[in-house]
Amino acid sequence: MVETRFSKFLQKLGFSRAGHQYEALERGELETLFDEQCELKASEKDKTVIALPPKEASKCRREDLAKAFYVDLQNGLSEFSVTQRRLVHGWNEFVADNTEPMWKKYLDQFKNPLILLLLASALVSVLTKEYEDAISIAMAVLIVVTVAFIQEYRSEKSLQELTKLVPPECNCIREGRLQHLLARDLVPGDIVCLSIGDRIPADIRLTEVTDLLVDESSFTGEAEPCSKTDTPLTGEGDLTTLRNIVFMGTLVQYGKGQGVVIGTGEKSQFGEVFKMMQAEETPKTPLQKNMDNLGKQLTLFSFCIIGIIMLTGWLQGKHLLSMFTIGVSLAVAAIPEGLPIVVMVTLVLGVLRMAKKQVIVKKLPIVETLGCCNVICSDKTGTLTANEMTVTQLVTSDGFHAEVSGVGYNSQGTVCLLPSKEVIKEFSNISVGKLVEAGCVANNAIIRKNTVMGQPTEGALIALAMKMGLSDIKDSYVRTKEIPFSSEQKWMAVKCSPKNEEEEDIYFMKGAFEEVIRYCTMYNNGGIPLPLTPQQQSFCQQEERKMGSLGLRVLALASGPELGKLTFLGLIGIIDPPRAGVKEAMQVLSESGVSVKMITGDALETALAIGRNIGLCNGKLTAMSGEQVESMEQNKLAEHVGKVSVFFRTSPKHKLKIIKALQESGAIVAMTGDGVNDAVALKSADIGISMGQTGTDVSKEAANMILVDDDFSAIMSAVEEGKGIFHNIKNFVRFQLSTSISALSLITLSTMCNLPNPLNAMQILWINIIMDGPPAQSLGVEPVDKDTLRQPPRNVKDTILSRALILKILLSASVIISGTLFIFWKEIPEDKANTPRTTTMTFTCFVFFDLFNALTCRSQTKLIFEIGFLRNHMFLYSVLGSILGQLAVIYIPPLQKVFQTENLGVLDLLLLTGLASSVFILSELLKLCEKFCSRAKKAQTHHEDV
């Protein structure tokens, strides 16, 4: 573009041999040319900007930083500069370095000792010139290996998708405006604003600081938060001593600040930590450990049986090579090598199903833990209730009452005096005006496009000011100091200088009534401060309790020249209406044996009102205060905590103590929360659940699970999914074990009885593909049964192989063995020679038994007619594919040669189908008997109770 303009410029200044002929540039073309030349220079500057090492940046003054990064510290970068810098520095994120190529991952599948044994068997076949067997075994190995590879690849891809579901966010100044961006959009030179609860999105050199404390434990290992400054440093020291630098991944614990991004992505100090993290392997879940132990036990058992088969066959004079091939093939068929993969796939699919329901699980083990959860401790605000807080009532210190209409973060609604219903605007009533002014000035929230940037409570106060036409009152003051809210002190205050220089500095405070009133010596009466008498204080306290009993969150407001000499202005009542679906969720969770406990920082009356409103513990509420929790010994608290349903006026340390007490009493605890004060409890709970929209970065970091829409009822879906996943894994185990025990026993019995082997090596491998392949995998994706949620949480000590499951496995295996041996005995000729018809009938009988067994394994308790034939589409397709595959093996000549089969008649197939269905019929009858016994037991218990 620039080159084109420049050539045009030369053309305009044309040179001829006769002499110089000049032609003036048009004004618009000249301006465009200069603009483009400036852009080119700016582009070149942006491309030369480099990430600054923290030690070097710590010594720079503000002016030096602005020059080094070509940035205006007040207005930030332009979008053009950001684009140019991103070309050089890339996105502010870490990309997993998957240097291992696909072909290597595929070859790693062959490292399985069983596969190597099978390949050894194929090699022996080549040496003995049995090429057809060698090719067939090699093909079967390829199929098994490819299936395993695809499953693992899908698991990895699913996990990569999960990491993209929770992008960290930040507040950044660009082109003079405060913008809410994804952290990955940052480039060196960006101006980032930090506030309490934020996660630092990149390495930043601070330029403005207000009481900033940063938790750098994730970076330095130091538990104590680090106090930060914005002044340049002169001395030498290590990274932990750089008090004007904040590092990516650390957390703002207190105060606020602003600074320049000096390093992003791999160029940040946390980039080194990320590389170390890549080397770490994810620990196995308890379920996976159980599965591994199960696999080892079965492997040992299988090899013992195979050893006996080979020894017996050799003693009987059978061909040792053929016995070795059968033995190795049987090992592959018998050992449930697919179990760990199935566990991973089932968990990942469960996590992705939850993601569709707006529940993000950060760690896979949590999926299985959800099925064991029997206590949910929930923060009230933003979790059980909606996140759009609304002011509904005002009471001034001189006794004026007003009601507020309208919902949400907008100016729709009015403020009316009671009982006259007079609409108030601005300072038409001085007492109400001063109360609303204090709430607007002592505030860090911003409302844009009906959404709040900041805390919902502060958003409600801004919305109130908008309704009264006072939203711009904040601009009348210059803030000089802020004392941020903390869950310990329960108030926040700002010191402001009025822009009218004649007036003195003034403090505005808001917080819990009992804390704010301690700093007040006066109360406002129509704009005139009067001494705060005990009678007046008692009146205000009664009003606060009255509002709290209605389920309102009550804020007290005050203003004055200094802390300790404030004028009390009045009370504001904010309602956080219960979320849709919470009441129903409470009922279902209660019926399923999950106890819900509400832990809140609010007063007793507010907590009880909300508890009754949502149907907590069916309205039979027992409450305990934070002070009572603190004074009680841990072991005594563990005895009482189970009976309490509401904890009020709690601090972070109280929440932690409650969680620990519940865990000591043997409960598996889930904790839900959204604030900085919930972070410790979220981290210590068995399952930490954070809110996705109102949740702070601290709470999201500490949690294992995130509710994207802040919807409490979504927990119900997550618990349901957790229980369903465990049931699906049990179904899979039942199917695999009954099939492998049947295959082992069949060969063992025929060898012991000196009969020819009913199945050859290729047929056993085909059975193995069905056992580990699609029909088996489809049991892992069986949709969750709606009745599953109403079942009590499972005991975390319960094993997969319960006594009932072992009996069902042995019953199914007995039927399969009996039926298959019957066909083998019926079809074997008198000379006991193994003919193609004998093996074909036996082989097909076993496969049909396998498929009917899979059908009944879809549920441990429900009949097939109750769960529905067509509900699991993947199961239907896989069974249909297996049937077509089996028919192909029987009737297609090239496959007949490989599998040593021959054509069967229609009557043969009908006989085999009828016989194989016996395993399905018997299992369904057993379920029916269990149902009748269970009902009879319940009826008897009910009769005894009456």
CA distances from 679 to 196, 373, 690, 699 (A): 13, 19, 9, 5
* H or E stretch at 937: helix 906-945
Rounded CA separation 759/325 (Å): 12
Give the other-Cβ count within 10 Å of 335's Cβ.
25
Query: Exposed, middle or buried, 125 (CB in 10 Å: 0-12/13-18/19+)?
Result: buried
Rounded CA separation 561/565 (Å): 7
Rounded CA separation 636/633 (Å): 5
* DSSP string for residues in 390-435: EEEEEEETTS-EEEE---SSSS-S-EEEETT-PBP-TTSSHHHHHH
Structure token pair of residue 730: 């049990």
Rounded CA separation 51/217 (Å): 24
Residues 325/125, Cβ–Cβ less than 8 Å: yes
Give the dihedral sign, CA 860/865/871/875: positive
Tell me the sheet residues that pair with 4: none
Among the listed residues 801, 826, 790, the one whose alpha carbon sits nearest the alpha carbon of residue 911: 826
Residues 654/627, Cβ–Cβ less than 8 Å: no
Rounded CA separation 900/835 (Å): 9
Rounded CA separation 217/356 (Å): 34
**Amino acid making up residue 315:** L
Rounded CA separation 484/444 (Å): 10
Rounded CA separation 464/525 (Å): 21
Rounded CA separation 58/30 (Å): 43
Structure token pair of residue 364: 């896979």
Q: Active site residue: 185, 203, 379, 710, which one?
A: 379
End-to-end CA distance of the chain: 92
Sole residue written with tokens 């003034």: 506
* DSSP string for residues in 337-378: TTHHHHHHHHHHHHHHHHHHTTEEESSTHHHHHHTT--EEEE
Cis peptide bond N-terminal to 419, omega within 30: yes
**Amino acid making up residue 699:** S
For residue 552, is it left (φ>0), alpha (ψ between -120 and 50) or beta?
beta
Query: Exposed, middle or buried, 668 (CB in 10 Å: 0-12/13-18/19+)?
Result: buried
Examine the residue annotation and report whether 697 is marked as an active-site residue of this protein: no
Structure token pair of residue 631: 């004074």
Structure token pair of residue 118: 């099978």
Rounded CA separation 5/11 (Å): 10
Structure token pair of residue 271: 């980039």
Backbone angles phi, psi at 595, to 5 degrees: -90, 130
**Amino acid making up residue 206:** L
Rounded CA separation 602/599 (Å): 9
Instruction: Give the strand pairing for 595-599 and 245-246.
Output: unpaired
Sole residue written with tokens 């006026």: 649
Catalytic residue numbers read 379
